Structure 1
Amino acid sequence: MNREGLLYGTIILLMSNFLIKCLGFFYRVFLVRVLGTEGIGLIEMVTPFYTFIIVITTWGIPLAMSKILAEEMAKGNWGNVQRTFRLTLFLLITSGMITTFLVINFAPWIMEHFVSDRRIYFCFVTMIPAVFIISSCSAFRAYFQGIKQVSAIGFGQTVEQIVRVLVGITLAIKLKKYGLEIAIVAVSLASVAGELAGLLFMVARYKRKKVKAQFSPSTGFWILIKRLYTFGIPVTLTRLLASFLMTLQASLIPRGLMLAGNDLRTATEIYGRFSGVALSLLHLPSIITMSMSVSIMPAVAELSGKTNKKLLKHRISEALWITSVFSVPSMVVLYYYAGELCTLIFHAPPAGEPLRILALGGIFCYLQQTLTSILQGMGRVKMLLFNNICSGICFIGGILLLTPVKGLEIKGAALALSLSYFIGCSFNLLYLTRNAQISLPLSKILIKPVTIGLLSFFALKFIDEQLRLFYGNLLLAMIISVLLSYVLYFILLFFIGGLPTSTIKRLPVFNKWFS
């Protein structure tokens, strides 16, 4: 089976993620306008519980399988590849069935003890079948990631998103007349439909692409199970920590807002603007970073057991460089146009204040995503867990201290989240450079992009002010200003050596210009 290169796979994922993000962003805007910020706030209260259940169900096995497959393929052990996939698929289907059964039976108890707003009950219950579907589908996604056929993941996610958006829009319109509590069920049903479509696509793709020949495995079942869980348990603990933090966020931020003097409905609306609007805009540039994260993990795992440290360093540096270079100008735009974007897109001007603070920590958020995949590929999951615990303590402590303060409120929560991004990213970089002994060109990865980003910010400010004098259309002025600032950013970055021609030449569109 042919494997896809790191850059090729990333580009394919980038294109599919671009479409997915555009559809998802349009879907989120639609939901905010149809259900309001209160409805989005209710949906965002369901998401952490849903994520927590999925993490418990999969138990880090898919990521462990991807790493094992990458290592076995590098050795040419196709028998172990086939056995690992079949074993993983069986484990995930079984755990998915058990978890789904348990959650359906204990749903009333979960709502009674862990939820402050009971209106999310029907939304939560209708989303439960997606747990089994996601658990089963994760085996196929991990298989394609491990054998470096990541384009299949991109196409599958595109199918899933198209179905989710179409079903969600249709049902939201039809159910709105029954009240907010029933209308938000549309989101749950859309998620189930989308996940089912994604699973069917991945199964069909696997049947078409799987290796027909049978190979003899050299590793026994119990050894494979031990390898899966040895790697999977720390990964699970890391993801449990992340989902636990999401759950605490959904609970502590509204409570903190109420301590600051807001009633329950107002606190829910403010949290909806923070989580559903500000964070949605912050995560838009993850089109690139998430694509890189999926591609880099097996690429690093493939080299982790070899002595070719030069190539390993090159892949890690390139992944971090791409993440940084494309994140910085996006954060500049989000910071400068925070209020305008929240107003024009979501009709939620107050969300601009937390978004501006989140944009300051955005670069560390995106680098953290890539660093997480790199450390997972290297098998350093225990240190990753420790670093995430440190950043999580900072986040929760910041919420408890800052959110109840009158005048800070939701801005305090945004500041706490930005600080946690910075701490997590810094700890992972320090570990990579000192303990893992991977020397990184920080000037190329961080200093040059950030320096040119500051210059492009002042250029954006100047261009925007001038265009507003000549154009009465705010949207047109914004589009022209953003495009010009992006062009200026990449030109200046190229001239100071922040855009290596060796990487640009590998892109199909530009290779003939530098040949």
Structure 2
Amino acid sequence: MNRQSFLHGALVLMIAGLITRVMGFVYRIFLTRLIGAEGMGLFQIVFPILGLVLTFVTAGLPLAISKLVAEAVAQNDRARVLRIMRVSVWIIATMTVIFTSLMYFLRGFVLHHWLSDPRAYPTYLAMIPVVSIIAVSSLYRGYFQGMQDMTPTAAARIFEQTIRIVSIWILAAYFVRYSLAYAAAAAMMGMVLGELGGLLFLIVQQRRRGRLSDILPNAAARSDETRRQTLYSMGQLALPVTLSSLIWSVLAAAEPVLVMRALKAAGFTTSISTALYGQYSGMAFPLLVFPTVFTGSLATNLVPSVAQAVASSERFRVRIRLAQSFTATAMVAFPTSVVLTMFASPLSQYIYKEPSVGPILAVMAPFEFFLCLQGPLVGILQGLNKAGIAMANSIIGGLLKLALIILLASHPTIGVLGISMATAASFTISALLNLWFVVHYVGFSIRLQALARIAIAACAMFAYMQIITYHHGQLPFGSLMFAIIGGFILYLALLCALRVLTTRNIRRVPKIGPWLASIIRWVPFAV
């Protein structure tokens, strides 16, 4: 197995994430047009339960595996890697048996006291098998990420998404003729099959390129660290992450219940409330989080990279990673925020055939930068062994969100837009708190000059798109694409002209860097 550089690993995950996110949009577009906003609401209602169960089952171990394996590899300690994996397998296997059994035997309680719409019950039953599959997959993903080999994880995502799309295409299209409830359950079965395919792919990859005897052939037979020390190291990261995920999952599980009650208090029926929640969670929010495919890749790679830098007493590399992550996040989030704010309704119309999703999206889009910044900042804190701080900041944001949902969504003149306002306030506050602590521990290494130049390029992009679409009422699809594509070309050209992107740093991109650098040379004033 070839260990990859920080940039290479991030790029691999980024490309795979972009492919799977586009595939995910294809699947959501098809599913939305097949079962509508109400069916999407039924599909989305059970996801908070899945998140809550997975919090207990995985117990924060995948992230701990990633960090500790990276440290052990840096110290050439093969015995410690084996111990980490064996302990993790026993913990996750035990928790999987316990919680999948509980999900099945408590299905009556969930139906009558948890699900805000009883039609989501078949989807809940179809979801139970996916818990054990995701739990085992998380072990392999954590192992490969700790080895800083992101290719198997990236390829598994694409394979998994392909199976999911094909499965849903067949199953949901068949069962929709019976009812929306069965169609939503069929969509969940597609997810189960996709996760199973991804797991099998990771198992094969571990046998082919992930054997420890090949990766650390000259390692000592015994580790200097005791089993108790290994457990303590795992607990230091896993417990805060687990507690954070647990609290956040409880908050997320409470969200659809509070949303439905708030919307009913605002005067909406159960059916309309379910459809509105489906528009927010199944349509608007996936569009909003699309750019996090880039920054999420950075976050995944930051944990082992920062942990390895700290283990090697090279903290200056952590400051470099902070500066790189901040600049990369701004480059992605600023233009995306402009596009989603300006064209929220036309995009919703052409993608989902639901223009009413536009206002829900437009409320959150201006705060895109803070949403994208969350992942890299949390990754740095976890790599620094400060997962408890990230946990506290996440909880603060989650509690704020629920409080604002109760306050705003129940108001008849605000309604579902109150959920968007609450969501934007939540991730903005959490990101600002995380940023304050990262700067406190690492130092202020953010390149403000580069940030200002990116903002100038984004403003120019906004002005261009405003001029292009000024005289249009109902924006035609061709004009929309011309404005967006032209805006991004102008934005990239300005980044080159303002020396945010240079041939020197572009050339460092693995494999395609020299080719991209040759293109950039043609941009006026680029260097």
TM-score range relative to shorter protein:
over 0.9
2:463 maps to amino acid: F
The answer to whether the 8 A contact 2:303-2:380 is kept is yes
Instruction: Look up the match of 1:369.
Output: 375
Match of 1:292 in 2: 298
Q: Distance in 1 between matches of 2:106 and 2:222?
A: 41
Q: Matches of residues 85-100 of structure 1 in structure 2 within 5 Å?
A: 85-100=85-100
- In structure 1, give the amino acid aligned to 2:512: V
Aligned-residue offset at 1:115: 1.9
| Cα distance in structure 2, aligned partners of 1:316 and 1:437 | 8
Amino acid at match of 2:409: T
**Structure 1 letter corresponding to 2:280:** F
Partner AA of 1:401 in structure 2: L
**Which of 471, 481, 484 is equivalent to 1:482?**
484
Distance 1:217 1:156, change over 3 A: farther
CA distance in 1, matches of 2:274, 2:450: 39
Identity %: 28
For the aligned residue pairs, the C-alpha RMSD in angstroms reads 1.9
Post-superposition CA distance 1:236-288 (Å, at most 9, x none): 11112322222122111121111111111111111111111100111222221
Q: Which residue of 2 aligns with 1:249?
A: 255
Displacement after TM superposition at 1:191 (Å): 1.3
**C-alpha distance in structure 1 between counterparts of 2:466 and 2:368, whole Å:** 19
Matched, 1:49 2:38: no
For 2:227 and 2:311, how far apart are their aligned partners in 1? 22
Amino acid in structure 1 at the alignment position of 2:85? F
One-letter code aligned to 2:95: S
Structure 1 CA distance for aligned equivalents of residues 449 and 197 of structure 2:
41
Question: Residues 3-402 of structure 1: matches in 2 within 5 Å?
Answer: 3-209=3-209, 210-212=211-213, 215-218=220-223, 219-402=225-408
For these two proteins, the number of residue pairs brought into alignment is 511
- C-alpha deviations, 1:61-81, integer Å up to 9, x for none? 111111101111111212211
Compute the TM-score of the two structures, normalised by the length of structure 2.
0.93
1:361–1:217: structure 2 CA closer, same or farther, 3 Å change rule? farther
Output one character per residue of 1:70-118: Cα deviation in whole Å (capped at 9) or x when no partner.
Answer: 1111112122112212321232222212221221111211222222211
Cα offset for 1:57?
0.6
- 1:459 and 2:464 matched: yes
| Alpha-carbon distance in 2 for matches of 1:241, 1:29 | 31
Q: CA deviation at 1:309?
A: 2.4
The one-letter amino acid paired with 1:346 is Y
Aligned partners of 1:451, 1:268: CA distance in 2, in Å?
Answer: 41
- Asked if residue 494 in structure 1 is aligned to residue 488 in structure 2, the reply is no
Indicate how the Cα distance of structure 1 residues 446 and 43 shifts in structure 2: closer, same or farther if over 3 A, else same.
farther
Q: Distance in 2 between matches of 1:75 and 1:146?
A: 13
Q: Secondary structure at the match of 1:408?
A: coil
What secondary structure, in the 3-state scheme, does the structure 1 residue paired with 2:304 have?
Answer: helix
SS of the residue corresponding to residue 212 of structure 2 reads coil
Letter in 1 for 2:453: K
Aligned to 2:443: 438
User: 1:312 deviation in Å?
Assistant: 1.7
Q: Is the CA contact (8 Å cut-off) linking 2:318 and 2:442 kept in structure 1?
A: no
CA contact (8 A) 1:317 1:445 kept: no
CA distance in 2, matches of 1:289, 1:48: 23
Distance change >3 Å, CA 107–CA 448, structure 1 → 2 = farther
Gaps of 5+ in 1: none
Is the CA contact (8 Å cut-off) linking 2:70 and 2:146 kept in structure 1?
yes
Amino acid of the residue matched to residue 75 of structure 1?
Q
Structure 2 equivalent of residue 509 of structure 1: 512
Q: Tell me the secondary structure at the aligned position of residue 2 of structure 1.
A: coil
Amino acid at match of 1:100: T
Q: What SS class does the counterpart of residue 184 from structure 1 fall into?
A: helix
Tell whether the 8 Å contact from 1:150 to 1:294 is kept in structure 2 after alignment: no
Q: Distance in 2 between matches of 1:79 and 1:2?
A: 20
TM-superposed CA distance for 1:289, in Å, is: 1.6
Conserved? CA contact 2:116–2:256, under 8 Å: no
The answer to whether residue 415 in structure 2 is matched with residue 412 in structure 1 is no
* Cα distance in 2, alignment partners of residues 445 and 151 from structure 1: 30
Instruction: Say which SS state the counterpart of residue 46 (structure 2) adopts.
Output: helix
Q: Which moved more, 1:487-496 or 1:198-207?
A: 487-496
Question: Matches of 2:29 and 2:503 in 1, distance apart?
Answer: 38
Gaps of 5+ in 2: 522-526
